[in-house]
Amino acid sequence: MTLLLPSLNHLPPPGSGIDSFTCRPSLNGKYSLKHTIEALASPTPPAPWYQLVWNSLSIPRHWVILWLAVLNKLPTLDSNSMAYKHIPNHCTLCLSSGESLNHIFFSCSFTAPIWSYLQNACSFYTRSQWIDFIFWASRHWSSKSIANAINKLALSTSIYHIWAERNSRIFKDISSSQNSILFKITTSIRERLLPLSFKDGVAAQRVRHV
């Protein structure tokens, strides 16, 4: 208060000047919707996995499932989801270990041959921990090359069909073979890639091998 009083003593008395309105976010003091929105918008940078999930080649329902998996929001049986309260926690794909995100995607003996095929076709390697792979892929597939776009497409398509198979077994009691799931995955990838033409030799080579 003692610091504030000298400043208050130098203020002009009320009524000695003309009151005016100044809009703070605007550079010139005038109201601007654009500057107001920019001031209100959060300046937080996008998450490191942003480019991994949002891929123009991927089918929207595929990247939605990948997005949920990256956020660890897919309701696996090891989660506390009320929907699975009466279902024992075992993997419906390989019928052995407890179901978790890490298990389904990279440790399950049922999905291992599917990942193995895609790794050879697309030249990428999975990890034992799902989150480790996400951070690795986010770093290494950050550029907008067509080869990276194909890797992201292969990842989102595979995650979707593996999760769909898991749901089909739990909720419909219908099972498909590994070859059948791999056929669905590769067919979906080819359907997205075949209308495109590739100047990149590496990309064209991957398209032929998927």
Where does this chain bind Zn ion (CB under 5 A)? Answer: 91, 93-94, 108
- The nearer residue to Zn ion, 108 or 182, going by C-beta atoms, is 108
Minimum Å gap between C-beta 72 and Zn ion is: 18
Name 48's Cβ contacts closer than 8 Å, sequence gap at least 6.
135, 138, 139
Number of H-type helices and E-type strands within the chain? 10, 0
Minimum Å gap between C-beta 204 and Zn ion is: 35
Tell me the one-letter amino acid at 35: H
- The nearer residue to Zn ion, 77 or 108, going by C-beta atoms, is 108
- The nearer residue to Zn ion, 55 or 92, going by C-beta atoms, is 92
What is the sign, positive or negative, of the torsion defined by CA atoms of 165, 171, 101, 99? negative
Minimum Å gap between C-beta 94 and Zn ion is: 3
Minimum Å gap between C-beta 158 and Zn ion is: 15
Minimum Å gap between C-beta 120 and Zn ion is: 21
- The nearer residue to Zn ion, 166 or 192, going by C-beta atoms, is 166
- The nearer residue to Zn ion, 26 or 167, going by C-beta atoms, is 167
Answer yes or no: are the C-beta atoms of 91 and 99 closer than 8 Å: yes
What is the sign, positive or negative, of the torsion defined by CA atoms of 97, 99, 103, 109? positive
Least Cα distance to 51 among 152, 119, 150 occurs for: 152
Cα 1 to Cα 108: distance, rounded to the nearest angstrom = 68
Minimum Å gap between C-beta 137 and Zn ion is: 22
- The nearer residue to Zn ion, 23 or 94, going by C-beta atoms, is 94
In this structure, what are the phi and psi dihedrals at residue 70, rounded to the nearest 5 degrees?
-65, -35
In this structure, what are the phi and psi dihedrals at residue 134, rounded to the nearest 5 degrees?
-60, -45
